[in-house]
């Protein structure tokens, strides 16, 4: 499987939602174009990899949703989910598996399996670990046209990824732009 990190990110690189800069509903904006792209990305996903806190946030909301029209509810409830945690024993959500071993080796084993994409979203600490280990095959960044000035960023301090190749650039009516990058082989 290919490991794809997908994040909502500000112009100044923040992915932590410490203010209300990110709204999945677009604050009234027409987000049908973003929803169409998300649906295509979900169809390519054979698994979703999450850190414990992000997993718990998703688990506390999505399984209770019954009227989702975007396809996100059905996807999150049906996709194979892998949660990295040393403290969780029972994930309490269908199709969920706890990875309690070293995340680098556990994710390396998942990547070695046949399949499409293994997605990661949120999960800042896990993303930092995966980035530092060189395990990420693609970055999909939904760039929001805001600057928040503080908060955790996608790339950890000292990360040296080398060159990244732009593979997609898609502007949306809301002003959000999707930028997709892949590491350039050295």
Mapped to the 3 state alphabet, what secondary structure does 41-102 carry?
A: HHHHEEEEEEEHHHHHHHHHHHHHCCCCCCCHHHHHHHCEEEEECCCCCCCCCCCEEEECCC
> CA 173, CA 53: separation in Å to the nearest integer?
31
Mean pLDDT, residues 126-134 taken together: 95
Strands 2-10 and 80-84, how do they pair? unpaired
Contact, 8 vs 142, CB < 8 A?
yes
For the chain, what percent of residues have pLDDT higher than 70?
A: 94
What residues make up the domain containing 128? 2-183
What's residue 46's pLDDT?
96
What's residue 30's pLDDT?
76
What phi and psi values does residue 93 have, to the nearest 5 degrees? -155, 130
The pLDDT-based confidence of 154 (bands split at 50, 70, 90) is very high
- Domain total of the chain: 1
The pLDDT-based confidence of 66 (bands split at 50, 70, 90) is confident
87: Cα separation from own chain's centroid? 22
Which has the closest alpha carbon to 99: 81, 74, 113?
Answer: 81
Q: Is the pLDDT of residue 186 over 70?
A: no
> CA 104, CA 91: separation in Å to the nearest integer?
20
What's residue 159's pLDDT?
83
For residue 144, the domain's CATH number is: 3.40.430.10
List, in sequence order, every residue forming a beta bridge with 48; answer none if it has no partner.
81, 119
Read off the pLDDT of residues 10-59 as tens digits, 9 standing for 90 and up.
999 999 877 776 664 445 567 889 989 999 999 999 999 999 999 999 99
50: Cα separation from own chain's centroid? 8
Q: Is the pLDDT of residue 67 over 90?
A: no
The pLDDT-based confidence of 158 (bands split at 50, 70, 90) is confident
Which has the closest alpha carbon to 164: 152, 153, 179, 174?
Answer: 179
* Cα distances (Å, whole numbers) of residue 68 to 28, 144, 150, 158: 17, 24, 32, 40
What phi and psi values does residue 185 have, to the nearest 5 degrees? -65, 135
| Range among 5-9, 63-67, 155-159 rated most confident | 5-9
What's residue 162's pLDDT?
86
């Amino acid at each position: 499987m290919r490991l794809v990190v997908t994040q909502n990110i500000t112009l100044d690189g923040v992915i932590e939602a410490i203010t209300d800069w990110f709204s999945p509903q677009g604050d009234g904006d027409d987000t049908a174009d973003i929803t169409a792209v998300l649906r295509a990305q979900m169809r390519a996903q054979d698994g979703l990899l999450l850190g414990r806190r992000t997993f718990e946030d998703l688990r506390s909301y999505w399984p209770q949703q019954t009227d989702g029209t975007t396809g996100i509810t059905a996807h999150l409830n049906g996709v194979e989910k892998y949660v990295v945690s040393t403290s969780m024993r029972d994930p309490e959500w269908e199709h969920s598996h706890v990875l309690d071993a070293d995340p680098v080796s556990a994710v390396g084993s998942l990547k070695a399996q046949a399949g499409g994409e293994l997605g990661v979203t949120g999960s800042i600490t896990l993303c930092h670990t995966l980035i530092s280990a060189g395990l990420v095959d693609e970055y999909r960044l939904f760039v929001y046209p805001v600057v928040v000035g503080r908060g955790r960023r996608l790339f950890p301090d000292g990360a040296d990824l080398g060159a990244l190749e732009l593979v997609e650039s898609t502007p949306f009516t809301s002003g959000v732009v999707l930028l997709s990058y892949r590491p350039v082989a050295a």
